[in-house]
Structure 1
Amino acid sequence: MKYMISILMAEMRKSHLNHYHNKLIYFSLLIWPALLFVTAYYSFKPFNLTQSSPLARFIEIEHLSLFLLTGYLGYIFFWCLIQSAWQMSYERMSGTLELIFLTPASRIAVMYGRAAGNLVEAVWLFSLFSLLAVFVIGKSHEIIWWNVPIVMVVLTISAVIWGGFLNVIFLFSRDAGILFTVLEEPMQFFSGVRLPVATFPLWGKGIAYIFPLTYVLSIVRELLMGRVEWFQLIKPLGMLAGILLVLLFFTFLLLSKAENHAKETGNMTLY
């Protein structure tokens, strides 16, 4: 554990020095997600938001602001790790990619340390904004506050496993930039960030259930806004655990395969 913590702290420091060296960056970490939330919220305003609305079949209209707020909170957790993995390409450009291979530290520890380090640095400000927004919009009484620590644990563990998997993909690819485009916007649309997954056609639901964020948001919303018993969350928690185990399996498999390929050929590009 001490070993992992030391790697985590090193990656957090590296991330801070490389990417968060200016106060304006922290401003963008708040203003950009906040604008996304406000834009999504007011995009609903021109439409019928009464109980007769078709949307009312899938979501409680009076909870729309909380639905969007929790959606974007989860999205920021996952999106910032897509961006972090994409920055692996800059490691190649700057010539520091070799340091990851030459370090005596475990590569898998570095991958997850990098994911966790970037996550902590990137999401704390929007998390604080979400907390303040709940009180400003007068919805604090609708939140089940004793579930908030559990929600943060679910979000953090899920996002770090997701980020470690993406880091491995981007680390051993010459150009995986297309994945940034494929994952960023589709994840925001199909994972239920702005619209309930139940509103999608069958093919849309099929895409939605590819993303771990879909399961995470379902659990987070039930924990924060629902009035469900714990046994009712067994199914979604089991599905989330299943997809996270699949990501862990492929993370270890790809990393092992890529390292063996590098040792045999001297080439750090697997694909």
Structure 2
Amino acid sequence: MRPGGLWTTIAAELSKQHRNRRKGRATYFSLLFWPALSFLTSYYTMKPYRTGEGSVLSRIIPDERIPLFLLSGYLVFQLFWTVVEAAWIFEQERKDGTVETVFLTPAPKIAFLYGRSLYSLLHGIWMFAVFSLLTFVFVSDISSVNWTALTLALLLIMVAAVVWGALLSAVSLFSRESSFLYYIFQTPMELFGGVRIPPAVFPAWATGVSTLFPVTYSLILVRGALYGTIGTTWWWALCILAAGSIVLAGCTRYVLYRAEHHARLKGNWSLF
């Protein structure tokens, strides 16, 4: 595979996704409205609980930093949910016949998957990211933030999110119906990943489920950097997320190969 062909295909996919998913100004409004609404809903749901000294939450969320805890949770969740959504709406590509066209061209197929995942990440997060950045200024103690660790964590998380989205898109190549991804990942990822509720308060079985989602490790990295608590757990989360992303990238290539082989055997004249 030529590197030039890979990046050219990614750029072409970014341009295509932008034309397909730009639906006027209302689209940009929804990029902020729904994540912000979820954040406010979670905040006022948690607010009645006792968070003072001696409470369970005080041992997990230091200095009553519930707004910072939830804001970081939804920022990271939005990173991963936007790429899940890209795989979820993959069925539209099937209905429009775009997938068949891509697979009949000599363009690198893996670049097609990474391109749509990368665009979804950029399209779905930029407005809420700006909102989060401005809010962080008011709810966080800037002096306690480890900026080097936070920058490293965010870069790794964005790479992990793109890889995660590409893998789910590859999985959805096996079926014309991708809505099952919404039901599998939306609520479970939000609940068990520690977006609204700290995984430390879960029973053992739920804690085990939380380890399956990359958002869990991502939140450990972001919150540790924001709180200035970089310890052994933080470094373990960093290593697991990095290693997991490499493994998932390999899985994406394998799933893509199997999906294309399956389509050639079971497909019709339009391939899929």
TM over 0.5: yes
What residue in structure 2 maps to residue 29 of structure 1? 31
Q: Is the 8 A contact 2:118 2:162 kept in 1?
A: yes
TM-aligned CA deviation for residue 198 of structure 1: 0.9
1:1-271 equivalence runs, <5 A: 1-137=3-139, 139-228=141-230, 233-267=234-268, 268=271
Q: Distance in 1 between matches of 2:16 and 2:264?
A: 27
Normalising by structure 1, report the TM-score.
0.91
Counterpart Cα distance in 1 of 2:47 and 2:109: 48
Alpha-carbon offset, residue 82 of structure 1: 0.9
Moved more, 126-135 or 176-185: 176-185
Q: CA–CA distance in 2 between the matches of 1:49 and 1:38?
A: 17
Q: Contact between 2:5 and 2:108, CA under 8 Å: does it hold in 1?
A: no
Residue by residue, what CA displacement relative to the aligned partner does 1:115-172 show, whole Å, maximum 9, x if unpaired? 1122112111111111001123354344333434323211210101100100101122
Measure the CA separation in 1 of the matches of 2:206 and 2:13: 37
Cα distance in structure 1, aligned partners of 2:197 and 2:6: 38
Q: What CA distance in whole angstroms lies between the structure 2 residues aligned with 1:120 and 1:7? A: 17
Q: Provide the C-alpha distance between the structure 2 equivalents of 1:56 and 1:75, rounded to a whole number of angstroms.
A: 23
- TM-score, with structure 2 as normaliser: 0.91
Give a deviation string over 1:229-269, Cα, whole Å, max 9, x none: 5x664322222233223322321111111222333444555
Q: Give 1:17 shift.
A: 1.2
Match for 1:189: what amino acid? L
Closer/same/farther in 2, CA of residues 265 and 138 from structure 1, 3 Å limit: closer
| Residues 97 and 232 of structure 1: CA distance in aligned 2, closer, same or farther (over 3 Å) | closer
Unpaired runs of 5+ residues, structure 2, are none
Paired positions, count? 268
User: What residue ranges of structure 1 are gaps of 5+ in the alignment?
Assistant: none
Q: 139-148 or 56-65, which moves further after superposition?
A: 139-148
The amino acid across from 1:35 in the alignment is L
Q: 1:138 to 1:156 in 2, by over 3 A?
A: closer
**Identity of matched residues, %:** 38
Q: Check conservation: 2:7, 2:111, Cα contact below 8 A.
A: no
Say which SS state the counterpart of residue 65 (structure 2) adopts: helix
Deviations 1:159-209 (A, max 9, x none): 011001001011222323222111111100100111111111011011111
